[in-house]
Amino acid sequence: MEYILQPWPWYVSGPLIAFTMLMLVYFGKTFGMSSNLQTLCSIGGAGKYSDYFRFDWKAQRWNLTVVLGAIIGGFLAAQFLSDGSAIELSSETISELNNLGFNEVGQSLLPPEIYSWENVLSVKGLSILVIAGFLVGFGTRYAGGCTSGHAITGLSNLQLPSLIAVIGFFIGGLIMTFFIIPLIFGT
Amino acid sequence: MKFLKFLLVGIFFGIVLVKSEAVSWYRIYEMFKFQSFHMYGIIGSAVFLGILFIWIIKKYKVKSIEGRDIDLAPKDKGAARYILGGTIFGFGWALAGACPGPMYILVGTGVFSMFIVIAAALLGTFTYGLLQKKLPH
């Protein structure tokens, strides 16, 4: 039990993610979380505005069920399967983020400087979440997949387009992390 | 009942991503700064094993649970959409610290401000749908 409550090392987590993909493939489906964004838009009536949202969303109910499960899994893991230990980040990461004004680095999954209501309900804080979310939604559908669809499933299936997409993920992520995050948070 | 297995896979996925800390903004920052092996280990071992799984499925023509052929559709050819879309996604991933799976999982952990990110992601998806035919693919 002790080992379950502690954070899981990469060599346990990575294979379990591969197993998640294997299960979905064995069930005759595929592992791709960002498709659900398209499905939710379609359910919301976006088909009136673009062919992209005109499809039988009911055929995607299985994937929405995976999302529902993922939310429940997040709840179970946080409530019952965690001992509250801090994330063992590298000391470089901690000191860099301290310098950028992050004060509780690794104490919880997400920085309160970005996700606490106090910060979210400011113009800057709200803009950060809205812009970040928009870029994720736009980018992942443009690229036709996200971390699960391209980085895990696509690469596992040796798809060149997925490798190109993952290179894109890193170009964007590196520019954001090295150059833009210091501008947003550094004072 | 046929949805139960998908619910269980989702629950399993949610637990694994929380326990692996892959849903943590800090872990994503650390990854993009190359300051820890953790995330590379997770993705690398998942892909290594994934390649093995898919190879076995193809080699032995494993059938799905419903007895059908497992057909993994190849991704459409092209480069522009993957590099451009991927880069845009990367900006958002590094800033939010969450990609489309973790967004939902983090709501489950009790981070309700994540609903704003999800709503914005839906708006981004909607915008892509409107512009799709005008963008290079």
Predicted ipTM?
Answer: 0.96
pLDDT category at B1 given cuts 50, 70, 90 is: low
Residue A25 makes CB contacts below 8 A (sequence gap 6+) with A31, B53, B54, B57, B64, B70, B72
CA distance A58 to A107: 40
Tell me the nearest-neighbour CA distance from B51 into chain A, angstroms: 4
- The pLDDT of residue A181 is 97
Question: What proportion of chain B, given as a percentage, has pLDDT over 90?
Answer: 96
Per-residue pLDDT averaged across A75-95, rounded?
Answer: 96
- Who's near B4: CB < 8 A, 6+ residues apart? none
In three-state secondary structure terms, B69 is: strand
Give the pLDDT confidence of B89-126 residue by residue, as tens digits: 999 999 999 999 999 999 999 999 999 999 999 999 99
> What pLDDT score does B71 carry?
86
Q: Is A61 on the interface with B (CB under 8 A)?
A: yes
Alpha helices in B20-108, H assignment, sequence order: 25-32, 38-59, 80-96, 100-108
Shortest Cα distance, chain A CAs vs residue B43, angstroms: 6
**In this complex, is the C-beta atom of B56 within 8 Å of any C-beta atom belonging to chain A?**
no
Q: How close, in Å, is residue A76 to chain B by CA atoms?
A: 7
Strand partners, B69: B63
Looking at chain B, the number of H-run helices and the number of E-run strands are 6, 0
Residue type, A73: G
Its pTM stands at 0.96
Q: Is the pLDDT of residue A2 over 90?
A: no
Q: What is the pLDDT of residue A78?
A: 96
Q: Which of residues 88-117 of B touch A (CB under 8 A)?
A: 88-101, 103-111, 113-114, 116-117
Query: Taking all residues of chain A, what is their mean pLDDT, rounded to a whole number?
Result: 96
Dihedral Cα B36, A130, B116, A118, nearest 10 deg: 80
Given CB atoms, is B61 within the 8 Å cutoff of chain A?
Answer: no
Is B80 an interface residue toward A (CB < 8 Å)? no
Residues B101, A147: C-beta atoms closer than 8 Å: yes
Q: With beta carbons less than 8 A apart as the criterion, state whether B93 and B10 touch.
A: no
